[in-house]
Amino acid sequence: MDLIVSLVVAAVLLLAGLLFGRAAEKRHYADLKRREAELRNLLIFNERRLPADVVCSRAVLVVGSAVIAEDYFKHAAASMKSLFGGRITAYESLLDRGRREAILRMKERARTLGATMIFNVRFETASLSEDRSGSRPMFSAEFIAYGTALVP
């Protein structure tokens, strides 16, 4: 009886992850595309030195961050995949979304300051997964993007 209950619970969680997780991912990608198009003219560089012809009156540190977690379906898919190795596509899209979201938040912050460029952009990723003995922990990570916004 206990086995049946736990199987049903696992199946429901998987299905919820598959349905809601997929829908949320699709929505997020659509949102990312729209916002990226809006902010396309705000240029970002990872160069440390400013070219000599750049004029700016103010330089401000801007940061953007996002914490992204996996769903149960991705969790199960990644667990299976890691038995055989190779690309874990379930996580690739997750990391991509998190990083793009962080960049966009950094850009949005720069836009409110009236900046036209961001220099020396750096990324930072920190895993926030909790250690649970025995089972594979649910993956969650923080993505940070930061740089110096130049206000003309």
* Sites of contact with other proteins (CB under 8 A): 13, 16-17, 20-21, 24-25, 28, 48-50, 54, 56-57, 59-61, 63, 65-74, 94, 101, 119-120, 122, 124, 126-131, 138, 140, 142, 144, 146-148, 150
Rounded to 10 degrees, the C-alpha dihedral 30/34/35/37 comes to 140
Query: Shortest gap between Cβ of 30 and other proteins (angstroms)?
Result: 14
Comparing C-alpha atoms, which of 71, 78, 75, 45 is closest to residue 149?
45
Closest contact distance (angstroms) between CB of 127 and other proteins is: 6
The residue among 38 and 137 lying less far from other proteins, judged by its C-beta, is 137
Q: How many residues does the chain have?
A: 152
Q: Angle between the 72-84 and 89-113 helix axes, to the nearest 10 degrees?
A: 130
Of the pair 79, 129, the CB lying nearest other proteins is at: 129
In the complex, the smallest distance separating the C-beta of residue 146 from other proteins, rounded to whole angstroms, is: 6
Element housing 44 (H / E) = strand 43-44
Nearer to other proteins, 1 or 145 (CB): 145
The residue type at 73: F
Query: In terms of CB distance, is 1 or 140 closer to other proteins?
Result: 140
- What region, left, alpha or beta, does residue 79 occupy, with left being phi > 0 and alpha being psi -120 to 50 degrees? alpha
